Amino acid sequence: MKMTTEEIEAAVKNGDITALTLDTSTFERKSFALEKGLLRRLSQFKDSEFKLVLSEIVVREVRAHLREKATDAEQSLRRSAADMAKYWNWPTGKVDAFLNQATEGMNGIDVSDERINKFISDCGAIVLDTSSFVSIGDVLNKYFDHTPPFSTNVKKKNEFPDAIALCSIEGWSQANNTRTLVISADKDWMSYSQESVYLICIEDLADGIAAFQGQLSLQIAQRISQGIIAGELPFLHDSIKDAISENSDAFEVLVECDSQFQCEEEGYDIDVESVEISSENGDAGVEPVEFDGDIIVLRILVNAILDITVYFSFAKWDGFDREYTSMGNGSATSTEDVPVEVLVAFNIENPNELEVVEIEVLPTTISVEFYELEPDWMQEPGDFD
């Protein structure tokens, strides 16, 4: 079923929509940050009149992603620790002591399972047992009839898991005589939901959470949005700029480089030139994502001008010695206009004197490209000895 934002808010208000669900790609777009950002805000559904419902398929896929990433990170840490021991001449036993302290004696699988289990508990999420709500006959009929989420000309290995997940959510909704708001940017999930009486699909998690916040929080968000546009909250720009500057680890920079040498990224620095709160058609892109009476948390969209300096090492293949020879180091800077999401918590106990309590910068990926890179010494070859 397709609904406008206003229709969704009305359906939540009159009790027609009482549940929210997410697909795996939504977790992935939020960098699987279960304890941070918008995913953390889903804990407000626990013990509330609204329910967070997750397909068993989605939970298993998220768990698998977490396990893979955590295990890769653990292996990388072990390799780095071994290098430290080798080149820093660590004494025997220091590597094991370091690793035990860093991992607290746990492995990537244990940590991942603990995180997803805690997330489910903190949110009071209902995890749907597929066998209770899915008929294999229905799934096979959709497959052979080429109805969503099965397509006719695109082979996707996750079509069957998608079908089982969607059928289970739809079955639960029907059994509970309610509709469920689905958060997904997947076209097949959208197509399936559009044909379903019980599922309504939108792309943005912040929009989905905002729909459950109630009329008062929407009015407060609108008032703050108008204040931003009117220039009545100048302190907010500075606070957001400072938060972005202090949380550069929220950015993942993907670097592509081109050089006559082999070049390898060795790290990067990010400097914030300026921040502008997005504003289109009189709307500052403000969405309420949590409200408890005195504190309201708003998702705010900003455009940040960032100077990204990337450091490189260069090497050249020596055909005689059959090894790479270092050609030195260098750096390059790119200025990027980056859309950034931040969560701003306001204390609204005194409506005439808003106070920023906390600002959280949500994970953001930036792609930068550099061409014809050279080591620093080639910029001033006369200085090379």
Residue 217 lies in a domain: no
Same domain? 157 vs 248: no
Residue 295 lies in a domain: yes
Residue 219 lies in a domain: no
Question: For the domain that residue 24 is a member of, what is the CATH number?
Answer: 3.40.50.1010
- pLDDT at residue 8 in the model: 95
Comparing CA positions, the residue from 35, 301, 21 lying closest to residue 133 is 21
Same domain? 58 vs 206: yes
Same domain? 147 vs 260: no
Q: Where a domain ends, among 210, 243, 270? A: 210
Same domain? 65 vs 169: yes
CA distances from 260 to 315, 317, 322, 381 (A): 10, 11, 18, 16
Structural domains of the chain, count: 2
Domain span at 250: 232-383
CA distances from 16 to 13, 180, 215, 359, 362 (A): 8, 9, 16, 33, 31
Same domain? 185 vs 249: no
- pLDDT at residue 137 in the model: 57
Q: Where a domain ends, among 176, 210, 244? A: 210
Same domain? 326 vs 194: no
Same domain? 189 vs 293: no
Tens place of pLDDT per residue across the chain (385 aa):
899 989 999 999 999 999 999 999 999 999 999 999 999 999 999 988 999 999 999 999 999 999 999 999 999 999 999 999 988 999 989 999 999 999 988 999 999 999 999 999 999 999 998 888 776 656 656 655 666 666 655 555 557 888 889 989 999 999 999 999 999 999 989 999 999 999 999 999 999 999 999 888 888 888 899 888 888 888 899 999 999 999 999 999 999 989 999 898 999 999 999 999 877 656 677 899 999 878 999 999 999 999 999 999 999 988 787 888 889 999 999 999 999 999 999 998 876 788 999 999 999 999 999 998 989 888 765 554 4
Comparing CA positions, the residue from 254, 268, 210 lying closest to residue 364 is 254
Same domain? 182 vs 33: yes
- pLDDT at residue 281 in the model: 58
Same domain? 239 vs 193: no
Specify whether the CB–CB gap between 78 and 71 falls below 8 A. no
Residue 218 lies in a domain: no
Residue 244 lies in a domain: yes
Q: Where a domain ends, among 155, 178, 210? A: 210
Angle at 124 between CA 222 and CA 298, to 5 degrees: 15
Same domain? 132 vs 256: no
The runs of H, that is alpha helices, within the chain are 5-13, 24-29, 37-40, 56-87, 94-103, 108-123, 130-133, 136-145, 159-175, 187-195, 205-210, 215-229, 234-246, 376-379
Residue 220 lies in a domain: no
Residue 222 lies in a domain: no
Q: Tell me how far apart the alpha carbons of residues 40 and 29 are, in angstroms, rounded to a whole number.
A: 14
- pLDDT at residue 292 in the model: 83
Same domain? 275 vs 198: no
DSSP string, 307-340: EEEEEEEEEEEETTTTEEEEEEEEEEEEEEEEEE
Same domain? 271 vs 352: yes
Residue 184 lies in a domain: yes
